[in-house]
Amino acid sequence: MSVFTRVDRSSVSDTVIDQIMALISTGALKSGDRLPTEHGLSEQLGVGRSSVREALKALEMLGLVTRRKEGSFVSAEMSMPALTKALYVDMLARELEIRHVYQVRRLLETELGELAVTNLEDDDLAELEALCLSMESTPDTDIQRHVKLDRQFHRTLSELAGNPVMTRLWEVTFEVLLEVRQRIPFTPQNIRHSDARHRVLLDALRERDPAKVRQTIAETLENGEARLVERLAQLEAENDGAA
């Protein structure tokens, strides 16, 4: 007997995600449990395999699911990913403001950046330089690769701070904002502006100047918040005009 229910097709992957999360939260699916195959989930849920694959990929990104050669399994650590999803749902359902999430991200990233300066080695700077070069060489059309490199750059920097709790909290805020950003079309200008700001930050890190690193991160995130809020307002106005 299947524990899954067939879903409406209006928001297929999101609904699949919600079902799996609900089964985890109620204990119907426990840490280490193996999920049905993509084909099995597709049949039980009544959706296409591409939607199942998209949902599993998102759950893996959030840390709820681990995917291996043998199949997909419920991850051991679920508290932070659950918080990520909860915050994002709040943004949609209860109008949690973007400024709240950006405020937390600024507090975390400025502190993480300042702490990282004290632990920086030449090899770390070389790794960050390589990530900058990879971002700069990424075509404007390859948004997913650029986002992956961007996440890797900031995660590397956060780990250098030496505080794993702050790093996990940073991951939550980053993923929540990424959920919002993915619903807004990226432009080549967005990507190249991001590249330029990463360069400014890398230069500050090379100088090993904690105050400059903190200021650079704060300015970058303040600018990013303003640009995102402006774009969301534009999209809302366009939707209102089309209604």
User: Per-residue pLDDT for 226 more than 70?
Assistant: yes
Q: For tokens 């084909």, what's the residue?
A: 39
- CATH number of the structural domain 9-77: 1.10.10.10
36-51: b (≥16 Cβ within 10 Å) or e: bebeebbbbbebeeeb
H/E run at residue 46: none
Superfamily of domain 81-242: GntR ligand-binding domain-like (1.20.120.530)
3-state secondary structure of 67: strand
**Percent over 90 (pLDDT), the chain:** 36
Q: Where are the beta strands (DSSP E) in 133-210?
A: none
User: Per-residue pLDDT for 227 more than 90?
Assistant: no
Q: How would residue 9 be classed by pLDDT, with cut points 50, 70 and 90? A: very low
Q: How would residue 77 be classed by pLDDT, with cut points 50, 70 and 90? A: low
Record the pTM: 0.62
* Per-domain residue ranges of the chain: 9-77, 81-242
Enumerate the β-bridge partners of residue 72: 67
Contact 78, 64 (CB under 8 A): yes
Q: For tokens 């749902």, what's the residue?
A: 89
Enumerate the β-bridge partners of residue 73: 34, 66
Among 68-77, 85-94, 159-168, the range with the most confident prediction by mean pLDDT is 159-168
